[in-house]
């Protein structure tokens, strides 16, 4: 099969088809999205070498469960051991032995085929198109915040950043509180949110009061410093940026204001699929360009450019 492979540099490689381990399904990838994490990995984040990609939709080709065969699926990316201390605590996303699709110890989705445990798979309703379904994984990461904080309609929420993940987070939290504002940087990206009736203002122009919840999703190392300037005493700051260069933290204001700082990574697929099926979260305006897998290297170089948002790969 063809695959987009990273080993210090990116190239299209001819590789053997993957062979599913026990309990795993073989999946033919239909489409996949390039995410900032993929771009960070090519900068050295996670030290991963192999096939990149973790946001995908595919068709189940081979698996033990006959019900899944031939079905369109998306897949949770963390593959736990089910045995370690955190797995026994039902914190499988934190399994110490885990592999993660296209990120850690497991080949990813920028290929014609991939393998994942059957229990990681979720059926995609017919009403969700392939391109839309590739957003399930990052949208689940947005719903992780809901799982962690249960925001109420009274909460004043600020989302820092206007990139792909920040937009999904803003749309998601806006479902819970209409008092959600995106503080962005790029006029055309903020416009996408305004088209839904969501308030988006340039970060440096924001003069409003401090927020109950600030979500840092800028992808920049100084985002946390800004978040701490905008949070109210005893408020919650959610950190979404995984930045290769790390982040300098001046912790004094967090101590004095007794701020809760919460990391946030992968989330639940079910509410994400539901939102995509119902159209309560709209992802299509975020798709900038799509390429064939064989053009994957070019797709990556485009995904880095400031004038695009989501770049997709089509595998057939």
Residues lying near Zn ion in the complex (CB under 5 A): 35, 37, 80-81, 84, 87, 95, 97
**CB nearer to Zn ion: pick between 33 and 271:** 33
Question: Which residue from 287, 296, 301 is spatially nearest to 315, judged by alpha carbons?
Answer: 296
- Residue 144 Cβ vs Zn ion, minimum distance, rounded to whole Å: 12
The residues, ordered by sequence, that sit 6+ positions from 111 with a Cβ below 8 Å of its Cβ are 1, 2, 3, 4, 15, 18, 29, 51, 53, 293, 315
Question: Which residue from 205, 179, 177, 181 is spatially nearest to 194, judged by alpha carbons?
Answer: 181
Q: How far apart are CA 266 and CA 112, in angstroms?
A: 24
- Residue 294 Cβ vs Zn ion, minimum distance, rounded to whole Å: 22
CA distances, 24 to each of 114, 116, 134 (Å): 10, 5, 20
- Residue 50 Cβ vs Zn ion, minimum distance, rounded to whole Å: 16
- Residue 77 Cβ vs Zn ion, minimum distance, rounded to whole Å: 8
**CB nearer to Zn ion: pick between 226 and 310:** 310
Q: Helix 164-176 to helix 187-194 angle, to the nearest 10 degrees?
A: 30
**CB nearer to Zn ion: pick between 86 and 196:** 86
The residues, ordered by sequence, that sit 6+ positions from 115 with a Cβ below 8 Å of its Cβ are 18, 19, 20, 21, 24, 25, 26, 27, 107
CA distances, 180 to each of 89, 167, 183, 254, 272 (Å): 33, 12, 10, 22, 19
**CB nearer to Zn ion: pick between 259 and 309:** 309
Q: How far apart are CA 44 and CA 47, in angstroms?
A: 5
- Residue 189 Cβ vs Zn ion, minimum distance, rounded to whole Å: 18
**CB nearer to Zn ion: pick between 94 and 314:** 94
**CB nearer to Zn ion: pick between 92 and 179:** 92
- Residue 92 Cβ vs Zn ion, minimum distance, rounded to whole Å: 7
**CB nearer to Zn ion: pick between 54 and 156:** 54
Question: Which residue from 150, 118, 101 is spatially nearest to 26, judged by alpha carbons?
Answer: 118
- Residue 79 Cβ vs Zn ion, minimum distance, rounded to whole Å: 10
């Amino acid at each position: 099969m063809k695959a987009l492979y990273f080993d210090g540099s990116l190239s299209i490689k001819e590789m053997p088809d993957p062979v599913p381990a026990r309990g795993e399904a073989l999946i033919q990838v239909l489409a996949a999205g390039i995410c900032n994490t993929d771009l960070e990995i090519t900068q050295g984040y996670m030290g991963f070498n192999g096939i990149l990609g973790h946001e995908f939709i595919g068709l189940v080709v081979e698996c033990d469960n006959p019900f899944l065969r031939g079905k369109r699926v998306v897949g949770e990316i963390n593959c736990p051991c089910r045995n370690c201390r955190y797995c026994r605590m039902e914190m499988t996303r934190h399994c110490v032995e885990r592999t993660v699709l296209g990120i850690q110890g497991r080949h990813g989705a920028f290929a014609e085929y991939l393998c994942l445990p059957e229990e990681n798979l979720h059926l995609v309703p017919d009403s969700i198109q392939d391109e839309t379904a590739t957003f399930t994984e990052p949208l689940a990461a947005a719903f992780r915040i809901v799982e962690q904080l249960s925001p109420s309609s009274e909460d004043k929420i600020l989302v820092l950043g206007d990139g792909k993940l920040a937009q999904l987070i803003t749309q998601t939290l806006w479902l819970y509180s209409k008092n959600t504002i995106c503080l962005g940087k790029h006029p055309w990206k903020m416009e996408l949110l305004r088209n839904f009736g969501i308030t988006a203002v340039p970060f440096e122009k924001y003069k409003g009061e401090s927020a109950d919840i600030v979500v840092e999703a800028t992808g920049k190392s100084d985002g946390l410093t800004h978040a701490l300037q905008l949070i109210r005493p005893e408020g919650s700051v959610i950190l979404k940026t995984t930045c290769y260069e790390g982040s300098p933290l001046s912790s004094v204001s967090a101590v004095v204001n007794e701020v809760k700082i919460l990391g946030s990574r992968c989330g639940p697929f079910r509410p994400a699929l539901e939102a995509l099926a119902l159209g309560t979260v709209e992802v299509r305006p975020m798709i900038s360009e799509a390429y064939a897998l064989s053009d994957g290297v070019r797709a990556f170089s485009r995904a880095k450019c400031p004038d695009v948002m989501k770049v997709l790969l089509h595998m057939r």
